[in-house]
Structure 1
Amino acid sequence: MLEEKILDSTRCYRVKTPGPIFRHDTYPGISVSASFASSQAAPAGALTALLAVGFLAVAAGYVAITRQRRGSPGEGKAELLVRRESETKARELLEKRVENISIMLDQLREYRSRGTGIVRVIDLVQSCAKRDAELHGEISRVLSSLGPRGGEISERVEAVSNELAAAFRELLETERMFRRGRMDKQEYKKRVETLEGKIMKLAGELGKIARTI
């Protein structure tokens, strides 16, 4: 049954006896259970974390290189200029050592091909060894002004220099022994080739160090 009510120009109707579609107990209750699929975001999250770590590593490397080039915190322009001049000087001195050794090796080959006397060969090796020691001393003094980094480079240079000095001494001893007739020509050539190859390799190590400064 409907009950009609007129308000001004509006007609309103009210159901006096609600039918079944309006009653709350007409239909059975429905139970709903919510379930969620396992998240697939873990791999993406892990990838994001790895990318973040990689980015931070690259950024840290960039900052380290930039600081090295621009100078350490608190280093003024004057100090930066002095440091760069010292680095350039050390690099040039190392390159001079390489050049000095290369010239000696070239001259030794020329001497032997022309059959130059042993005395001149010994003089050449002694002169080169002396000049190399002088350059090494200059490099050590320059590197000492570069702080911890200079100390690390100096240790590498010192290790190579010790091997070079030993190779020069052995080469001189070989020349003297051959001159005195205490070594045959075949053994002499073999030892000379080995020592000159070693000296050339050590000179190459000095060149590598120079390129890192």
Structure 2
Amino acid sequence: MKTLTTTTGEQRVTLHGLTWQQYQQILNALPQTRAAHLIFDCGTLEITMPLEEHEFASELIGLFLRILVVETGLRLRSLRSTTLWRPDLKRGAEPDNAYYIYHQPQVAGRSIDLSIDPPPDLVIEVDMTHTDIDKNQLYAALGVPELWRYNGREWQIFQLWDGCYQGCDRSPLFPWVPKECLYRFLAEAKMDEVEAEKNWRRWVQEQRP
């Protein structure tokens, strides 16, 4: 069965009842430079074509995170939308952004293999429309310690605890940063991205522990 959802933020096509082999065939048939993101969860394949609102949020939240990491002296390995797959779990995902921060030294300078490497420390998902995939369950199964989700209005933060995600008021990675900071940053960036970046970097420099 196929379903189609479209908004100004993204277009989604969902296919149900696929095998892992069929998912792999579709994945391999698509060009490496494609804009669409694929996510597969135990038979359900969702293909998302990001549009303007989605791409704006994804890019700017990534910048928000990068400034936090750089200005607090941490390390970073960015995966962007690299496919994270676990054939043994019949799950594969291409998040909007994924990062190694504390585990960066373990994966520096080489390709990631989730059969032997730890999962990313943080995954960011932007969903402007309804998704048929339970992304919390999927990323919990992959063992991702922290998940950020943004729907154009609300920034949700989840921490993995005993195999399930628990909602948090602040990021466990950056507990000194209130949610209002992202909302303010995105609002300023809609008017002037350069000024928003300068203001956010200045705030982090002044407030970092």
TM-score range, shorter chain: under 0.3
TM-score (norm 1): 0.23
TM-score (norm 2): 0.23
The structure that is helix-richer by fraction is: 1
Flag the structure with more relative contact order, 1 or 2, with Cα contacts below 8 A and sequence separation at least 6: 1
The structure that is strand-richer by fraction is: 2
Which structure has the bigger radius of gyration? 1
